[in-house]
Amino acid sequence: MPLLEVENLRVAYGSLGVLKGIGLTVEEREIVTILGSNGAGKTTTLRTIAGLIAPSGGRIMFDGRDIAAMPAYRICAAGLALVPEGRQLFPEHTVLENLELGAFRQLQRGRRADFKRDLDAVCELFPRVGERLDQRAGLLSGGEQQMVAIGRALLSRPRLLLLDEPSLGLAPLLVQSIFEAFAKLRERGITILLVEQMAMLALKICDRAYVLESGTITLSGTREEVADDPRVVEAYLGRSSAKP
């Protein structure tokens, strides 16, 4: 049984259909990526799965349960974490407090040692975050905030991590290291559904990929199949980088 199974998912804003009946699956410990241009419905897909948008039809099965009608906080408690587009940190809180909020369920159960270990791992991944633990999150630069947002999601120890444009605003060197980190997360048993504009990087670490165009899945397959498709090369990889 796949960890996540989406069937015939439909979402409409007013009369405008944004998702027109999409289906996708994510197996345990898989990294799956969704490619598509702006306005295709990628962010809407992730937000709907996370319970932030109510679908107008279809099923979302997570770990054998239909979560389509479940409120967002219960979906999160079931082990599904979203790193939203645009960071959404608590600007008046310190970086450390933001990170602790991500791990609040761990901390509630008194697992401070686990939290410490996870925190060290995040600081190793993003040394910049480690240097700024006591600063107010609102004072960080945009890219630094993005690192904190990813770190916060990792600290919640999700079973399924939904990442919406994690590379947004990050310097090239860092983008490479976060993607390496995502690849390593699999070893910790975390499954990832990834939306990413830098298709080349996403296709480097994923197992399978879907291409979403105007609310419909037009292509799916293993990363090799998708990366070799001429339409994908043209639109998402850029001509200069034909092969990942």
Partner 1 sequence: MRRVTTGIAWLAVALLAAFPLLVEGTYYKFLGIIVLIYGIVAIGLNILSGYAGLLSLGRAALMAAGAYTTALMTKALAPLPLFAATGLHIWLGMVAGTVVAALFGAALAFPSLRVRGPYLAMVTVAFGWVVWKILQEWVSVTGGDLGISSIPKPQVGPLLLETQSFYFVVLGCFMVALGLQDRIVRSRFGMRLRAMRHSELGIASVGVDVHRLKVAAFVISAAFAGFGGTLFAHQQNYISPDNFQFFSSVFFLLAILFGGAGTRFGPIVGAAVLTVLPELLHDFDKYRLIVYGCFILLTLYFLPNGVMGLFPAARPAARAPTGAPHSKVVAAMPAALAQVRGAALEAAGISRSFGGLRALSDVALSVGAGTIHALIGPNGAGKTTLINIVSGIYRADAGRILIDGQPARIGSLHGAAAQGIARTFQTIKLFGDMTVLEHVLTGLSRHSRLALWHALLDTRAAREEAASQIEQARQLIAFVGLAGYEDRPATELAYGHRRLVEIARALAVRPRLLLLDEPAAGLVADEIMALAQVIRRLKQASVTILLIEHHMDLVVSVSDRITVLDQGVVIADGSPSAIQRDERVIAAYLGPSHAAA
Q: Where does this chain bind partner 1 (CB under 8 A)?
A: 13-16, 35-40, 42-43, 85-86, 128, 135, 139-144, 146-147, 165, 168-176, 197, 199, 214, 234-238, 240
- Provide the minimum distance between the beta carbon of 88 and partner 1 in the complex, in angstroms, as a whole number: 11
Contact 60, 140 (CB under 8 A): no
- Provide the minimum distance between the beta carbon of 117 and partner 1 in the complex, in angstroms, as a whole number: 25
Report residue 52 as tokens. 């932030």
CB atoms within 10 A of CB 39: 12
For residue 164, the 8-state DSSP code is E
Of the two residues 107 and 235, which places its CB atom closer to partner 1 in the complex? 235
- Provide the minimum distance between the beta carbon of 27 and partner 1 in the complex, in angstroms, as a whole number: 26
Provide the terminal-to-terminal Cα distance of the chain, rounded to the nearest Å: 31
Of the two residues 42 and 208, which places its CB atom closer to partner 1 in the complex? 42
Rounded to whole angstroms, the Cα distance separating 148 from 128 reads 10
Backbone angles phi, psi at 51, to 5 degrees: 90, 10
Of the two residues 77 and 171, which places its CB atom closer to partner 1 in the complex? 171
Percentages helix, strand, coil for the chain (3-state, rounded to 5) are: 45, 25, 30
- Provide the minimum distance between the beta carbon of 210 and partner 1 in the complex, in angstroms, as a whole number: 14
Of the two residues 16 and 54, which places its CB atom closer to partner 1 in the complex? 16
Helix residue ranges, H only, the chain = 42-49, 72-77, 95-102, 104-108, 112-125, 127-131, 142-155, 172-185, 199-205, 223-228, 230-232
Of the two residues 27 and 228, which places its CB atom closer to partner 1 in the complex? 228
- Provide the minimum distance between the beta carbon of 5 and partner 1 in the complex, in angstroms, as a whole number: 25
Q: Sheet containing 208-213: which strands, arranged edge to edge?
A: 80-83, 160-164, 191-195, 31-35, 208-213, 216-222
Of the two residues 172 and 230, which places its CB atom closer to partner 1 in the complex? 172
- Provide the minimum distance between the beta carbon of 151 and partner 1 in the complex, in angstroms, as a whole number: 13
